[in-house]
Amino acid sequence: MGQRVFIGIGVAIAVLASACARLAVWSAPAKAPSAERTAAARSADDLFWRTLHDGDYDKTPAALTALQAAYLDNPNDAVTAAHIGWLHVWRLGERARLDPVPPGITDEAVLSRRYFEEAVRLNPGEARYQGFYAATLLAEAEIHQDEKLRRQGYYTLLDAVAAFPEFNDFTAGYVMSSRPYDSERFKEGLDDQWRNLDVCVGETVDRRHPDYAKYMRLETKEGPKRVCWNSWIAPHNFEGFFLNFGDMLVKAGEPEIAVTMYANAKLTPDYAQWQYRDVLEDRVRNAAAYVAAFRQEKPAPGAPRIMGQSRFACMACHQN
């Protein structure tokens, strides 16, 4: 009897200790966002935007150093955390620039996810952060072949789309563009791109003849629909969107519709300054020939690649 009592007391103590530990974690104060940004953060921002808009991939380490120093100085700054996350996304997304691509490039997904997670904690109302956080969860899940993490990323992405469809429908579709062309996730990603057009113009865009010319009068720099157009943040967002959409349609086996989608990129007056005009013109000429190439999960060196696997996966929208 005494031994049983002793064991029972031991179990009770263990349960109580576990409960106390959970209570201690639960009751800890939440990390609060900073009310002001430091001079170091603003200076690091300037370097971030110069590096991004110049398309200077090789200078991302210097920009990261400045941002990380600013973050250590003030780890409650959501913007700084998000910018660090974004640079890691860029390094991962345009890894085709590297020859050879080092195995350690996968660490960029882990680091990006961690900083976007922090940005979301500090500013949960910013749905753009949530979309990038979901995308990095999915990237990390793919690296580790972790189904639980994959599902977490997928449903986080659906929440982000619901919160800001004008922005995150594209994010969702772009993430899925790398999936096999005959997979349900790729088809869902293509649907996301169509819905992105619909929500931007306020009606259902013609799926067989998606000529965007009649919608150009809707361009705005205000409100949630501002992200449907070019901006200071993404000076060629419009062109990049239609380049990717065309690529996804080619991969889906619809090159004729893709040619119309590619042509929409030319509707903006900014097209003349876009660095990737030659890429788009090549797509228009060779859309039918690129169907098989875009379906390759691991393209050969020098082979045509869908935008999401290319050297301009981010810069097609963000480079001046």
Residue 81 pLDDT > 90, yes or no? yes
pLDDT value, residue 145: 96
Delimiting residues of CATH 1.25.40.10 domain(s) in the chain: 37-163
Question: Distance between the two ends of the chain, CA-based, in angstroms?
Answer: 80
Mean pLDDT within 107-117: 98
pLDDT score, position 30: 79
Mean pLDDT, to the nearest integer, of 184-208? 98
pLDDT digits (tens, 9 = 90+) for 242-262: 999 999 999 999 999 999 999
Q: Give the pLDDT of residue 176.
A: 97
Structure token pair of residue 77: 């700054």
In this prediction, residue 93 has a pLDDT band, given cuts at 50, 70 and 90, of very high
Can you give the pTM of this predicted structure? 0.91
Question: Is residue 29 predicted with pLDDT exceeding 90?
Answer: no
What is the distance between the alpha carbons of residues 186 and 234, in angstroms, rounded to a whole number? 25
For domain 37-163, give the fold. 1.25.40
Q: Inform me whether the pLDDT recorded for 5 exceeds 60.
A: no
pLDDT at 316: 98
Tokens of 59: 């200078």
Instruction: Give how far Cα 233 sits from Cα of 3, 106, 123, 226, 259, Å.
Output: 70, 26, 19, 11, 27
Instruction: Share the mean pLDDT of the chain.
Output: 94
* Tokens read off for 203: 């009606």
Instruction: Report DSSP state, residue 98.
Output: S
Residue 4 has pLDDT above 70, yes or no: no
pLDDT tier, 83 (very low <50, low <70, confident <90, very high otherwise): very high
Q: What is the mean pLDDT of residues 258-272?
A: 98
What is the Cα–Cα distance from 296 to 181, expressed in whole angstroms?
A: 9
pLDDT score at 53: 98
Q: Tell me what pLDDT residue 299 has.
A: 86
**Triad 123, 125, 129: Cα angle to 5°:** 65
pLDDT over threshold 90, residue 232: yes
Phi, psi of 114, rounded to the nearest 5 degrees: -65, -40
How far is it, in rounded angstroms, from Cα 220 to Cα 52? 23
- Give pLDDT tens digits for 134-182: 999 999 999 999 999 999 999 999 999 999 999 999 999 999 999 999 9
Residue 123 region by backbone torsions, left for phi larger than 0, else alpha for psi between -120 and 50, else beta: beta
